[in-house]
Amino acid sequence: MRSHVYQDLLSTKETLEVQLKDAQTAQEHSHRMATELQAALDRAKSGVHDGRDALERELKAQIVRLTEDTTRVRAGRDAAQTELAERKAVLSEKFATLAEYKTLIDQSQARIEVLQSEVRRLKAHIAAGAGEEDIFRLLVGNADVERELFDELRARLA
């Protein structure tokens, strides 16, 4: 009763049903693989993002530390430069004062020499006016005569 065409159609139908089941099984398998791959991709992305975030936090912390270190070093450098400038100013002031003292000493020494010369001149003038050779030698500064006169004066006073 069944005709040859019907048999072919039935056979084709069975073949197509098997192929459909195989295709559905392959589709389910592909869907599971796609889902697993998507999950793996999501885990990998999450791991990369977490690693990137951790690295970013670490690098930001290093930047903060380096900025603080730089600020500390700069503050130390500025303090050292300020101290050096202050020391230079004090030293410069001391040198200026020393130069002033030297100038004053030189001027005083010159003045002393002028006054000593004037004293010698006046002593000679006084001695010449007195007409006494002993007084002249005493005032001019002969030590032997000075001692003899003082000894003579002591003897008179004794």
Give the residue carrying structure tokens 């930001």.
60
Mean pLDDT of 93-103: 95
Indicate the SS3 state at residue 43. helix
Residue 32 pLDDT greater than 80, yes or no: yes
pLDDT at 21: 95
8 A C-beta contact, residue 140 and residue 123: yes
CA dist 46 and 70 (Å) reads: 35
- What is the residue range of 87's domain? 4-157
Q: Rounded to two decimals, what is the model's pTM?
A: 0.45
8 A C-beta contact, residue 145 and residue 137: yes
CB within 8 Å of 135: residues ≥ 6 apart: 126, 127
Mean pLDDT of 147-158: 65
Q: Residues of the chain with pLDDT > 70: what percent?
A: 78
Tally of structural domains, the chain = 1
- As a whole number, the mean pLDDT across the chain is 86
Indicate the SS3 state at residue 23. helix
pLDDT at 153: 62
Residue 125 binned pLDDT confidence (cut-offs 50, 70, 90)? confident
B/e letters for 131-142, b = 16+ CB within 10 Å, e = fewer, are eeeebbbbbeee
Mean pLDDT of 83-87: 96
Give the residue carrying structure tokens 């589709």.
27
pLDDT at 121: 78
pLDDT at 148: 67
Q: State how far the alpha carbon of 35 is from the alpha carbons of 28, 32, 40, 42, in Å.
A: 10, 5, 9, 10
8 A C-beta contact, residue 138 and residue 146: yes
DSSP readout, 45-86? HHHHHHHHHHHHHHHHHHHHHHHHHHHHHHHHHHHHHHHHHH
pLDDT at 6: 87
Residue 5 binned pLDDT confidence (cut-offs 50, 70, 90)? confident
pLDDT tens per residue across span 42-74? 999 999 999 999 999 999 999 999 999 999 999
